[in-house]
Amino acid sequence: MQSAVAKKDAAKAFAYGKTPDKFKHPTDLQVRFRTGAVYVVLSVTLALVSNLTCVIMLCVLAGICAGELFFMLRSDAKLPNELLGTLAAVAYPVSMWKLGLSGSLLVTGALLVALLVWYVFFMRARVGDVGVSFFGAAYTGLLLSSLILVRMSLPGIWGGVLVCGVFCSVWANDSFAYLVGSKFGKHKLAPRISPKKSWEGFIGGLVGSMAIWCLITLIPGVNMAIPQALVFGLICGLSGVLGDLAESRIKRNSGVKDSGTIMPGHGGLLDRCDSLFMASVTAAVMLIGGGCVPYVFG
């Protein structure tokens, strides 16, 4: 037995000795890139496969992000009902998948009633705690669930391609903002909330978002002209920045650097999805309200 263990340890030591240093001691940038690559591949794959896998992905995202948000709110002396808030956040994508906007209204009504009962019978609960509990569920689950309407607006894989287009517009916004801001950033965008963001990066991010929206016009079934795509890309980029700054404000008030540790090199999942929340609902409203894609529950 000891001989087998010794051989196993020797094999591990040999393999470790043959491993290049760049893999044994990866830089922060390498860790960040690998984590981001896994996140992107999983997101794109689950969005493309089917409506069900997209719903599952959004439920997982909403549940984890809600948990991270409630953790930060507790650090800011709030007392949210994490159980009700997280359950509602997970229920929003499912209800939107089955019933459309009517489903989201049902979840909202049930959440409000449950929170009211909690407030009445749990004497430590304050009105503000009810508010942050509802906010946490709506901010994560309700906003993300709007992507279900986008996924179901086109048949087959094309609905998933459209969702990936929305993802890519958010990622392009973040990436272009980072690259342009790192190279040319001199004027602070919101120094008290997010000191690293610059006006130059902000403009670069909007350009990236607009470029992706122009590519979205090529998706079969999307009825959108280039001028309309440029406007939609601009608005979607602005909403993404607003979501990013909102999460930065919450972190600053809570005194935390990251929302969590689930994504090495990035922090929490909420840190990766902050721009996606507002961009998702904005994209859904523009695409469906603008007549670019149909509302399947109408």
At residue 30, the pLDDT reads 76
Whether residue 178 lies inside any domain: the answer is yes
- pLDDT (tens digit, 0 to 9) for every residue of the chain, 298 residues total? 456 656 555 555 554 454 555 544 556 667 777 888 899 999 999 999 999 999 999 999 999 999 999 999 988 878 899 999 999 999 999 999 999 999 999 999 999 999 999 999 988 889 999 999 999 999 999 999 999 999 999 999 999 999 999 999 999 999 999 899 988 888 898 888 888 889 999 999 999 999 999 999 999 999 999 999 999 999 999 999 999 999 989 988 888 888 877 877 677 899 888 899 999 999 999 999 999 999 999 6
Whether residue 27 lies inside any domain: the answer is no
Q: Residue 176: give the domain boundaries.
A: 43-289
Whether residue 32 lies inside any domain: the answer is no
Q: pTM (2 decimals)? A: 0.88
Residues 66/89, Cβ–Cβ less than 8 Å: yes
Whether residue 131 lies inside any domain: the answer is yes
Looking at the 3D structure of the chain, how many domains does it have? 1
Whether residue 213 lies inside any domain: the answer is yes
86: number of Cβ within 10 Å: 24
Residues 272/279, Cβ–Cβ less than 8 Å: no
At residue 267, the pLDDT reads 79
Residues 75/86, Cβ–Cβ less than 8 Å: no
CA 282 to mean position of chain CA atoms:
13
Whether residue 128 lies inside any domain: the answer is yes
Return left, alpha or beta for 255; rule: phi > 0 is left, psi -120 to 50 is alpha, else beta.
left
Which phi and psi angles does 185 have, rounded to 5°?
A: -65, 120
Whether residue 112 lies inside any domain: the answer is yes
Residues 109/161, Cβ–Cβ less than 8 Å: no
Whether residue 296 lies inside any domain: the answer is no
